[in-house]
Chain A
Amino acid sequence: MLQSAPFNYRRIIIWVGRIVIAAFFIYAGLAKLIRWDMHQLPPLTLANFPFPWRESIPTSLFAAQIDSYQMVPPWVSLAIAHWLPWAEILLGALLLIGWQLRIWATIVTLIVGGFFTAVVRAYALHLDINCGCFAKPEPLTGWTVLRDGALFLLAVLMTVFAFQQARKPHPWSGPANPAT
C-alpha cells in the first residue's frame, strides 16, 4: 500500500517557496508588461508582445525605473527592461511546475538576491526613487527592503532544501529491487 510522503519542514518550505515566489514573479512580470495602472479599461495590451526586443512605452518606463537605481549603464537598463518581465513569468511558471527545480530555484535565488542588493543599496544611499518591483509607482521604503529580504530568505531556504532533498531517495520510491 502506498504511503504519503513524509511531511517535514523542508518539504513545507520548498512548497511554500515555490508557490509564493512563483506568484510574486508571475505577478511582477505581468505588471511590468501590462502596466494596468496606465489603462482605465480593458483591453490591455502586452508591452512588447510577442517580440521582447521591440521598444514599447511600458518597457521604456521600466527602463527608467531601473536607471534610477544608478547601478548599471543605460544600455543595461534597457536590456533588463526588455527581458526581465518575460524571464520572471517563465521562471515563475517553471517553479510552479517543479521540473528541474534545483536549476530554476538557483537562478531565481540569484535574481532575488540581485533585487535585494539593489533595494538595500538604494535605501542606504537615500535615493528617493520608486521600487519598480511591480512597475507601478511605489516609493522604495523600509517595507520594500523587508519584503525583498523575506523573499530572498525564502528563496535561499527553498534552494538549499531542494538540493538536500534531492540527495535523499524519494519517499514514494521503493527500493531499486524489492526482492533484494
Chain B
Amino acid sequence: MNRRFILASIATLALANAGTLIMVAAPTAQKSGAKNAPNAASSAKPASASQATITVNGVGDIDPAKAFGSKNAPVIMEIYSDFQCPACKQLFITTTQRVTDNYVDTNKVYMVHRDFPLPMHAYSRVAASYSRAAAHIGKCEVVEQALFQNQERWEANGDVKGIVAAVLTPAEMKKVQELVDAKTYEPLIDKDKQIGQAIPVNQTPTMIIHTKDGQSYPVVGFVSYDVLKTLLDQLTK
C-alpha cells in the first residue's frame, strides 16, 4: 500500500510539474512576442528635421535612408544587425541580397535595416555610424556591402574609414566624414537600438517580420534563403 502511495505521489508531482511548466511558459511566450514592440518604443520624436523618421503600416521610427522597397508592400521586414557579427555578415551575403532581388525589388517586401551594435564588438558602432551617414547620401547598399564583405579586415585593425573610403568618391567620403564627425545621425542609431531592446532583441541578426494584419513574427539568427522564402511566400500571398 505504501509503495503504491509513493508511486502515485511521484506521478502526481511529475504531472503537477508538467502542468506548471505549461502554465508558466504560455504567458511568458505571449509577453516575449514582438507584436507590439514597434509601437512600444516609437513614442520619442526625432531631434531634428535631418533625422526625420517615418511610420509605415504601424511600424514606427523607420529611417527612410535605411529602408528599401515599396511602402505598400504586404510585408515589412526589419533586420537588426551588427556590422561586426559573423552571422549578420552571412545573412547579408547569402540571404538578404536574394530577398532584395526577389521580394524587395518586386514590391512584396519593405525592408528596414536597423542598427543594433553590440557592446562586445569594438568597432561595430563606428561601422554603424559610417553606414548611416553613407545611407543619407544615397550610398547605403554599397557601404553596407563593403563593410560586411571586408568584416575580417576592419575587425582586425579597426580601419572602418579606409573600407568605406575605398568604395566612395573623395567628395562623397568627405561628406560622410563630416556627418560622422558631427554625429548627425547618432540619435537614429540610438533609436534603432532602443526599439530593438524594447522588443526585446537579444542577439543579432534578428528579423521581425510584420504583416498588414498587424501580426509580427520574430526570426532569430542566420536563416538560409530557401527557408526564409517559404515563410515570405506564405506571408506575401
**Which A residues lie at the B interface, using CB under 8 A?**
4-5, 7, 12, 15-16, 19-20, 23-24, 27, 31, 36-38, 40, 55-57, 60-61, 63-65, 67-68, 70, 74-75, 77-78, 127-130, 134-139
Contacts and interface: CB of A to CB of B under 8 A. Distances in A.
Query: What interface size band does chain B fall in?
Result: 35 or more
Interface in B195-237: 202-204, 215, 217-228, 230-231, 233-235
A30 to B, nearest CB: 9
A27 B22 contact: yes
Contacts, number: 123
Given A37-B33, A70-B222, A139 B202 contact: yes
B7 interface: yes
Nearest to B3: A7
A60 B230 contact: yes
B4 interface: yes
Contacts of A74: 224-227
Interface string B5-41: 0110011001101100110011011101111000000
B30 A40 contact: yes
A130 B222 CA distance: 11
Contact of A37 (B10, B22, B32, B235): B32
Contacts of B168: none
A70 B223 CA distance: 8
A130 B223 CA distance: 12
B25 A136 contact: yes
Contacts of B215: 38
A70 B233 CA distance: 22
Contact of A129 (B11, B30, B203): B203
B146 interface: no
Contact of A77 (B3, B227, B234): B227
**Which among A5, A37, A38, A40 has the greatest number of chain B C-beta atoms within 10 A?**
A37
